[in-house]
Amino acid sequence: MIVFLVLGFLLLRQLFFAFREKFIDKQRLVIIGILVIVVTVTVLKPNGLINFDKLQGKDLLVAEREGAANCMTTLKLKENNTFTERTVCFGVMEIKGNYELKGDTIFFKDVGFVRHESGYYMFAVIQKSDSEKTKYLGDIVMYKSYSDTIGRDLWITKNELTK
């Protein structure tokens, strides 16, 4: 936001000088043109020109959970058997790896850890929603090991795994 405000201020400053000089300085006109393009692209595409998530493949399953302090965890399973778990909470943490689907169970493998993580979930079970009144399609409950009884659940917002 600060960079956007600085660019806007610089654009207004350049326009002020250009009006004062009656648009004679060619270099100033080039600078104004570049600043107009940058500010316009920033307004129209605030998340960037390239959506890198789409380049990784189609999302087959998307599950999310909002925690304390508006911390958001999103799990995406892609069609090329890769997954990404992104947690945004006072910073962004992203874990990537591969998965294998067997029935209603997802097994995680080849997980790339970030610095302070020592282990990831071994598997997850998809539980479909019984009620049609909820906006979620069900839950995905992730377990660290076979002896884990509690698990961590995320709400499924998109499920095209079983088509």
Q: What string of pLDDT tens digits covers the 163 residues of the chain?
A: 788 889 999 999 999 999 999 999 999 999 999 999 999 998 898 878 887 777 888 889 999 998 888 889 999 999 899 999 988 888 888 888 999 999 889 999 988 866 666 678 899 999 887 766 677 888 999 998 888 888 888 999 988 886 5
Same domain, 89 and 114: yes
CA distance 146 to 44: 48
Same domain, 66 and 33: no
CA distance 105 to 126: 6
Same domain, 28 and 95: no
Same domain, 34 and 79: no
Q: Pick from 100, 139, 107: which is nearest to 121 by CA?
A: 107
Same domain, 34 and 112: no
State whether the Cα torsion 115-117-122-124 is positive or negative. Answer: negative
Same domain, 84 and 145: yes
